Amino acid sequence: MLSAVPSTFSFRILSSWRAAPRFIGGLVAAALAVSASYAGAGVLSLTNGDRIYGELVVVERDNVIWKSETFGDITVAKEKILSLETDKDLKIAGRDEPCALAGHRRQQWELYCDEGSGWVMDFPAIDRAEPYINFVGNPVIFRGNVAASGVFEEGNREREDWDINTNFDVRHGDFHHLIGTQYQNQNSTEVDDLEKYRLSYDLRWIFAEKWFAAGNSSLLHEEARNLDLGSTVGLGLGYLFFDTDKSAFSIQGGVSSLKEDYIDPSLSEDPSKRYAAGRTAWDFRYKFNLGPEVYYNQELLQSLDRSEDYQSNAEIGVRTPLVKGVLMEVKYAWQYDNTPSLDSEKEDTKLTIGVGYSW
């Protein structure tokens, strides 16, 4: 009887020791798996001491979108971030090659790109950075808006005016394509079918963090100014201060070639005028938190041959959303030509109130 107890006890100990290697191996495997998951993940350290494991989605002008392992996608303001760590190659605006983030210290990023040399960027000044694999597979971004206004009268006065504007912003990587169209028609008892057509195309290539090469072209037909066809082709250099969904501001400078053919050549000293001009342009927009968006853009062309030959055009306006996608637009347009056709005024202004759609 006494010998049975030690025999059972020793058998249980022996069985436990035989199972121990499997148990310890399981613990080691679990620990390695957890360690591997944290090692492969990025870390976002905040100024309040929190550390959020996950992956970088995108760095924007004011915020960082981070895919947390626990909470999913979260948006964190840059001023709340102490450091960001990721082992993924990054696409930085103005760089074609992938860049590795070596360190984030004192609000600065230390980056190494394919050239091999390291360089430092201020973290708050980064407009956009994203994992390079996302950039390579990034589809074309297509944005735009269309706006229309009109005046229709019948009875003692008969009048029909149309003003339709369409703008497209197509982006793929570091290339931005800006396309604009405009159609105006004025028809009344005093004026019969005065039409205006305008087509413009601008190309921007962002070759550095803030700098871009710019190409611009436009075609214009405007009967009210005796202009049969005006064409502009130019090249230049631009600087992008910022460009986000909320706001954007850029300036450009360059040289353009202008050609103007008139409907009635007898009303112009030069029936077909062609000249080179220096070009300056700026473009600004800002969207308020409550919804309205203000914008202001202007272009100035100065002849390189004759100081008195210059022209400028500007637009300033407000877009206010009504329902999703539908907006009301109030726009003031100003156009000035210091050497117009002989029967035309130097200055034209127009205020329009219309509705539109944006996407």
Reported as a single tens digit per residue, the pLDDT across 66-86 is 999 888 899 999 999 999 999
State pLDDT tens for residues 316-341.
Answer: 999 999 988 899 999 999 999 998 88
* Residue 265 sits in the same domain as residue 191: yes
Say how many residues make up the chain: 359
Residue 217: alpha-carbon gap to chain centroid: 20
Predicted local distance difference test score (pLDDT) of residue 14: 40
In a domain, 305, yes or no: yes
Residue 88: alpha-carbon gap to chain centroid: 24
Boundary of a domain, candidates 85, 105, 136: 136
Boundary of a domain, candidates 83, 106, 136: 136
For 187-193, what is the mean pLDDT?
72
Residue 112 belongs to domain spanning:
42-136
Predicted local distance difference test score (pLDDT) of residue 268: 75
For 121-143, what is the mean pLDDT?
80
In a domain, 228, yes or no: yes
* Residue 94 sits in the same domain as residue 190: no
Boundary of a domain, candidates 106, 136, 166: 136
Token pair for 323: 């329902």
* Residue 173 sits in the same domain as residue 312: yes
C-alpha to C-alpha distance for 341 and 246, rounded to whole angstroms: 41
* Residue 46 sits in the same domain as residue 130: yes
Hunting for tokens 């109030």 — which residue is that? 330
| Closest C-alpha to 236, from 276, 273, 275, 196 | 276
Q: Is the pTM of this model over 0.95?
A: no
Question: In angstroms, what CA-CA distances link 63 with 239, 262, 291?
Answer: 22, 52, 19
In a domain, 15, yes or no: no
